[in-house]
Chains A and B, each alone.
Chain A
Amino acid sequence: MLKEIRPALVLVVLLTAITGLIYPLAMTGISQVLFPTQANGSLIEKDGEVVGSALIGQSFTDAKYFHGRPSPTTGPDPKDASKTVAIPYNAVNSGGSNLGPTSKALAERIGADVAALKKENSAAPVPVDLVTTSASGLDPDISPEAALFQVPRVARARGLPDDRVRALVRAQIEGRTLGFLGEPRVNVLKLNLALDRARP
């Protein structure tokens, strides 16, 4: 058994160095050259300032913007770091609500959201993704139905005709990848940026 010790320990150290330093650092170097935008987080800049990432949702509450899905992420209270408070779309603490199908807390939350959305637009059925939180709490997308559902509110707040806003939404719909993978979706940040360009 003693003669097995040296090979095993030398090997674990060397393989750790190969897979833990050489491999990730080489991959970082190559990625930075080949795909610099993606490798650095697909950041979106506006007037030279980073406004977010194309892949990470952000919190929208203003009526003149399309809203993303509800987000259950939390973070430390800025006033008292020992307490945890709700911080929607906190990108340094991803996670879901983890509420189950028989959770009273979940039923109350969905009930309140449904009531608010029905007040906003009673003509269309409430889309499921607008009353459910995502797994990461950072979902950048909503379904096309969820975007179209918000058109009347956004158009009113912006003083734009419904059709104009609807056309902007339609232009932002991404279909299934290769026609069959995943689900059709609308990136909320990109849609809102397009909206700002159309009527700031």
Chain B
Amino acid sequence: MTLIGWVQIALYCAIIVALTPLVGGYMTRVFNGELTLLSPVLRPIENLLYRAGGIDETSEQHWLTYTIAMLLFHVGGFVILYSILRLQAVLPFNPAGQGAVAPDLSLNTAISFATNTNWQNYGGESTLSYLTQMLGLTPQNFLSAATGIVLAVALIRGIARASAKTVGNFCVDITRCTLYILLPVCVVFTLFLVWQGIPQTLGPYVEATTLEGGRQTLALGPVASQVAIKMLGTNGGGFFNANAAHPFENPTALSNFVQMLSIFVLGAALTNVFGRMVGNPKQGWAILAAMGVFFFAGVLFCYWAEANGTQMLNAFGIGGGNMEGKEVRFGILGSALFAVITTAASCGAVNAMHDSFTALGGMIPLINIELGEIVIGGVGAGLYGMLLFVILTVFVAGLMVGRTPEYVGKKIEAREVKMAMLAILILPLMILGWTAIAVVYPPAVASMANAGPHGFSEVLYAFSSMTGNNGSAFAGLSGNTFFYNIAGAVAMFIGRFWMIVPAMAIAGSLAQKKMVAASAGTFPTTGGLFVGLLVGVILIVGGLTFFPALALGPIVEHLAMQAGQLF
């Protein structure tokens, strides 16, 4: 751990905090339908889309209609992506001559990108055509991110409104989110990334003759335009197999820093949107503060573990930390910080191989995912995930004093708490259930790349990542098998939508309620006590659920590593 490392962490946090109210203010205007700087350019396009779809932008939807429109939208996206994957061999923009993607892999990939997971059981440069990357994956990167954001906004409206029947219009929200927020940022971001060295071409792979006379084929493509939305939308699906570790996806220390910022910027800003819409920005800052506690603890621990290196390297007298599976230009800090950010948010892009992290260093990303990715989280998904824990927290606080809990002027009653628990419990059911099956089912066991507890960690990480819609991996696991393709598709689907539907039901039920004025008995949800209680509830729920599994994986591996045992 070095001073220069701490400077990078401090600067990172400062920039995110500074951007939060700026971006949050802009996003609030967009979702309130107010004029923005970009309106003169984008308004005509927006109108065109509404006219083509027969959409009345002034009509709003009940929460159930909103959810159904969202699901229909996803069915359409899934069919388009699945068809392109299966047909890419006969479609244009395929200079490398990639063949059709197998049915089970196509299913897994289509679900993966539609649910904002972006788990990859394929290697991009060796499997997909340029058309599939552009027309198949890039739109799902945009639209799954936009979906997360608009669902969070619908839930915020549910909390902010009183005695209302509707929570917004899905088609209007998703159009505005895509046109006014995601696309403009991506245009600028893409050009920045190309300037830094990321390719953006439709030309074929290039043959090079190396200095020693060997042949090297350089995989290229329209990379930058996809990487921009992959990071901004917390998608994380790499153009190349090595993801953000590949020099063509993340060429410099500066591109790395800006990519890390882009993972958090929208998720952090949404806490501010929340504060503004409920009429008290402090409510948003309190949530961001609770997220900050987890984030800082994770960075500290992961950085420390990786900088200490492994017993194996130390035994050979080699210092400098654990550089296995890390790139020189990023170093220990650039890799550890990225790993914590990408799993705190449900991004899942990786610039280092988490499978080769130390046992404890690799446990931090795993814990981040298992807590539900509520530390900033996936765009939108992080906020609605966190709000579920907030409901649980005010409920627990209410139990302690024997008073009906309230949150920003709304009574939290049985229906909300039941829905919150339904959403929260799906994580352990999918993660632990599938892991338990995978470790006793021989074809699934055969996919493990490492022996001993590390092999168990690979499987646990895989199902945590897929259920949590993260998409990063302990990548040694051979995921492209029938079992993991199908089990993973189920885990990703349930992990996404079983969270969304209860969250939307809460939005609908809160929207109908009357506002109650704050009294002396109201538990304030903007102070340190609330932040502490929220952190405690998250830790207790996560700890009770996942500690036994973590003990079998990373914790026992750490003890074995300290004892010098190899597998």
Contact = CB atoms under 8 A, between A and B. Distances in A.
B248 A51 contact: no
Given A41-B206, A55-B248, A181-B257, A27 B222 contact: yes
B247 to A, nearest CB: 4
Interface string A61-98: 11001000100000000000000000001111111111
B183 A23 contact: yes
A95 B120 CA distance: 13
A31 interface: yes
Given A7-B69, A182-B252, A193 B325 contact: no
A162 interface: no
B566 A139 contact: no
Contacts of A7: 53-55, 69, 171
B334 A103 contact: no
Nearest to B49: A14
A134 B248 contact: no
A89 B245 contact: no
A122 to B, nearest CB: 12
Interface stretch (B73-81, B486-494, B540-548): B73-81
B320 A41 contact: no
B245 A134 contact: yes
A121 interface: no
Interface residues of A, number: 101
Interface stretch (B187-195, B387-395, B413-421): B187-195
B225 A24 contact: yes
A178 B256 CA distance: 13
A101 interface: yes
A8 B72 contact: yes
B200 interface: yes
B194 A31 contact: yes
Contacts of B242: 94-96, 135-138
Contact of B52 (A10, A35, A142): A10
B318 A32 contact: no
Contacts of B77: 12, 16
A28 B209 contact: no
Contacts of A43: 206, 208, 218
B102 interface: no
B316 A110 contact: yes
Report the contact-size class of chain B (Cβ under 8 Å from the partner): 35 or more
B366 to A, nearest CB: 13
Interface in A128-143: 128-129, 131-143
A71 to B, nearest CB: 11
Interface in B1-46: 4, 7-8, 11
Interface stretch (B133-141, B262-270, B281-289, B292-300): B133-141
Contact of A56 (B198, B218, B355, B451): B218
Interface stretch (B152-160, B345-353, B404-412): B345-353
B330 A183 contact: yes
Interface of B: 4, 7-8, 11, 49, 52-55, 65, 68-69, 72-73, 76-77, 80, 123, 125-126, 134-136, 138-139, 141-143, 170-171, 174-175, 178, 183, 186-187, 190-191, 194-203, 205-212, 214, 216-220, 222, 224-226, 229, 240-242, 245-248, 251-254, 256-257, 309-313, 316-331, 334-335, 350-353, 355-359, 362, 449-454, 457, 474-476, 557, 560-561, 565-567
10 nearest interchain CB pairs? A182-B253, A98-B476, A135-B245, A183-B331, A94-B242, A96-B353, A128-B320, A12-B76, A136-B242, A100-B454
13 contacts: A10-B54, A19-B178, A24-B138, A34-B191, A59-B210, A93-B126, A94-B125, A101-B359, A125-B318, A129-B328, A135-B245, A136-B327, A182-B253
